[in-house]
Amino acid sequence: MFDYQAPKQLLKDKIVLVTGAGDGIGKTAAITYAEHGATVILLGRTTKKLEEVYDEIEQKKLPQAAIVPLNLDGAAEHDFLELANTIECEFGRLDGILHNASMLGEREPISSYDPVLFEQVMRVNVTSQLILTQALLPLLKKANHASVVFTSSGVGKTAKANWGAYAVSKFATEAMVQLFANESAEFTPTVRTNAINPGATRTKMRATAYPSEDPNTLATASDIMPAYLYLMGDDSLEINGHSINAQ
Ligand code: NDP
């Protein structure tokens, strides 16, 4: 595992948006960030799941969260600008984004991959993340130091057979991280951008991709949180344009 011990108040008073916060790694990251002092904005497409995460944060008496039900497939620029407006009115700035939501698409050869599904995967996993980041950049710039964390994958570095649009989307994610980071000195000097590859983690997406695998052999979302905390907190201020492995 990534070797980092986060101070208990690492994210005290920080405002952090987590996408796909209703389930899997995103849910655990949102609760972990709240446990380290952050006010988390929970974005996802299933309101009931977001409400359960909200309630869990409330029950633990952590900083009160906010809920943003939004399906990244079909969300348009005005949805993201509206979100930016809401965050501005409520909080005045944004200290971090964890781009965690993704869809797997189908596991099939690229030679016969459905182009309609390909576009959908790219929309959810890449385009929506770009537009969301663009919409929120003015608020990120208002923070003293802001961290944008994208979620990559092993197949975002080596495209294994049958990973289709998902692999293409994760390569694109790696490129987007490098572009934001390489352009930051000129445009966004206080905003750093990095990627995390969670590695094989016990979630619904992993079970869908590897149905015959025993989930008990895998790391849990809690196990991989040190890397998520490190990149979101100020201990990683000097890290920009990196892609780190959580395991
Ligand atoms: P899960 O499928 O368990 O959770 C994904 C989350 O994203 C869910 O909350 C889901 O919402 C949300 N989501 C999916 N599509 C949309 C959408 N269109 N709009 C809004 N929210 C959406 O996945 P994991 O937790 O396993 O994965 C999290 C990230 O980690 C992903 O980026 C994935 O690619 C990456 N990853 C995971 C690995 C693993 O082994 N688990 C390995 C490598 C990378 P809902 O619950 O409502 O469906």
pLDDT tens across 214-238, in order? Answer: 999 999 999 999 999 999 999 999 9
Average pLDDT of the chain, as a whole number: 98
Query: Which tens digits make up the pLDDT trace of 28-50?
Result: 999 999 999 999 999 999 999 99
Note the pLDDT of residue 208: 97
Going from the Cα of 19 to the center of ligand 1, the distance in angstroms, rounded, reads 9
Residue minimizing CA distance to atom 47 of ligand 1: 46
Q: Percent of the chain scored above 90 by pLDDT? A: 99
Going from the Cα of 2 to the center of ligand 1, the distance in angstroms, rounded, reads 21
Note the pLDDT of residue 141: 97
Segment 160-168 shows an average pLDDT of: 98
Q: Which atom of ligand 1 is nearest to the CA of 23?
A: 9
Residue minimizing CA distance to atom 4 of ligand 1: 24
Note the pLDDT of residue 115: 98
What is the CB < 6 Å shell around ligand 1?
20, 22-26, 44-46, 49, 71-73, 100-103, 124, 151, 153, 198, 200-201, 203-206
User: Which pLDDT band, with edges at 50, 70 and 90, does 151 fall under?
Assistant: very high
Segment 153-165 shows an average pLDDT of: 98
Distance of CA 246 to the CA centre of its chain: 13
CATH classification code of 15-245: 3.40.50.720
Here the ipTM equals 0.99
Bridge partner list, 39 = 15
Q: Is 113 left (phi over 0), alpha (psi -120 to 50) or beta?
A: beta
Query: Which tens digits make up the pLDDT trace of 48-82?
Result: 999 999 999 999 999 999 999 999 999 999 999 99
C-alpha–C-alpha distance, residues 155 and 163, integer Å? 7
The DSSP line for 16-65 is: EEEETTTSHHHHHHHHHHHHTTPEEEEEES-HHHHHHHHHHHHHTTPSPP
Cα-based torsion angle of the residue sequence 127, 238, 96, 72 in order, rounded to the nearest 10 degrees: 10
Using alpha carbons only, give the angle 213, 214, 216 rounded to the nearest 5 degrees. Answer: 140
Note the pLDDT of residue 16: 99
